[in-house]
Amino acid sequence: MDIAEELLNGSRLALSRAITAVENEHDNAVDIMQKLYAHTGNAHVIGITGPPGAGKSTLTDKLAKEYRKQGKTVGIIAVDPTSPFSGGAILGDRIRMNDLTLDKGVFIRSMGTRGSLGGLSRKTAETVKIMDAAGHDIILVETVGVGQSEVDIIKTADTIIVVLVPGLGDDIQAIKAGILEIGDVFAINKADHEGVDRLHTELEMMLDLNQQKTEWRPPVKRVIANRGEGITELAESIAQQIDQSKQSGQFVTRRKERTRSELLVMLDELLGRHVRNKLSVDGKIDKLVASVESRVRNPYAVVNEIIASVLR
């Protein structure tokens, strides 16, 4: 039996190995994904994002437990930053999730960003699909601690939870573009800390000013993740959001948009690789670079010529 078949038959080792194959771009990765693709699209994918130290891992742990109480199986992908210097990483999100390790209804995978800057790794979306194919009802994707512009999670999740904590900045922060625009549900964690009322008011004001996209007005929920307070209410908001999204057609639109962008990105990558391989034959690229560098030719004309020769 191959990895894809074993995975579909419920092997946890095969699930784990499939993720590795994709993450490291093993030769069998494309074959695995092709076999799994028909089995994807069933899971509810929930993104959890927010600044470092906001409590994303703890909240992820508590939400997973809430879904387990509802009898749902949960896949968790926890992304942490890769060092730009050594290429190594400390993946430490599991520390907050140790109670889930022995629950067979939960599968947790840690990933390093490996150079990606959008808050996820390049292979996170495919890892979501692998967990989806393995039959998880809910997939929680925890991003790296983000600043303001790491919004790749919108390309992956059906529901995005932005986790904030009191005391990070004044109200100007709240009207900035970026992560505050992508939340479907806002969670104010550490809601027993000073400044929670002010943050809550600022968020509500910001959300009232943003009435463009849909009829869904993102709710702001207070939680104290390490004590498990407010988690059931947060899960209710998530359920309402996904129901509303399905009713309004937003759900389908988002997924279609995602499929379109994945298709185009894959096309760019494979086409780019194909062209590069061709150009590397006989030092062709070096000659072109030399002619551009010496200003004999210009890069625009050279690229047009390459494209014309490939598409011939």
Partner 1 sequence: MEKRVRILVAKPGLDGHDRGAKVVARALRDGGFEVVYTGLRQTPEQIAEAALQEDVNVIALSLLSGAHNHLFPRIVELIRANGMNDVLIIGGGVIPDSDIAGLKAAGIAEVFTPGTSTTTIIDFINANV
Binding footprint of partner 1 on the chain (CB under 8 A): 12-13, 16-17, 19-20, 23-27, 82-83, 85-92, 94-95, 98, 101-102, 107-110, 112, 114
Q: Which is nearer to partner 1, 13 or 266 (CB)?
A: 13
Alpha carbon of 112 to those of 89, 90, 120, 180, 232: distances in Å? 6, 8, 8, 24, 30
Q: Which is nearer to partner 1, 25 or 286 (CB)?
A: 25
We find the least distance from the C-beta atom of residue 108 to partner 1, in angstroms, to be 5
We find the least distance from the C-beta atom of residue 234 to partner 1, in angstroms, to be 25
We find the least distance from the C-beta atom of residue 122 to partner 1, in angstroms, to be 9
**Interior CA angle at 232 toward 124 and 43, to 5°?**
35
223-245 burial, b for 16+ CB within 10 Å, e for fewer?
Answer: bbbeeeebbeebbebbeebbebb
Q: Tell me the three state secondary structure of residue 123.
A: coil
We find the least distance from the C-beta atom of residue 135 to partner 1, in angstroms, to be 15
Q: Which is nearer to partner 1, 24 or 210 (CB)?
A: 24
Q: What are phi and psi of 8, to 5 degrees?
A: -65, -25
Q: Which is nearer to partner 1, 122 or 190 (CB)?
A: 122
Q: Which is nearer to partner 1, 27 or 282 (CB)?
A: 27
Q: Which is nearer to partner 1, 11 or 40 (CB)?
A: 11
Distance CA 88, CA 90 (A): 7
Q: How many CB atoms lie within 10 A of CB 303?
A: 13
Distance CA 60, CA 47 (A): 10
We find the least distance from the C-beta atom of residue 249 to partner 1, in angstroms, to be 36
Q: What torsion do the CA atoms of 141, 142, 143, 147 make, to the nearest 10 degrees?
A: 130
Identify whether the C-beta of residue 201 lies closer than 8 Å to the C-beta of residue 188: no
Identify whether the C-beta of residue 106 lies closer than 8 Å to the C-beta of residue 68: yes
Tokens in use for 124?
A: 């996170």
We find the least distance from the C-beta atom of residue 42 to partner 1, in angstroms, to be 21
We find the least distance from the C-beta atom of residue 150 to partner 1, in angstroms, to be 20
Q: Which is nearer to partner 1, 27 or 215 (CB)?
A: 27
According to DSSP, the β-strands at 185-188 and 106-112 are unpaired
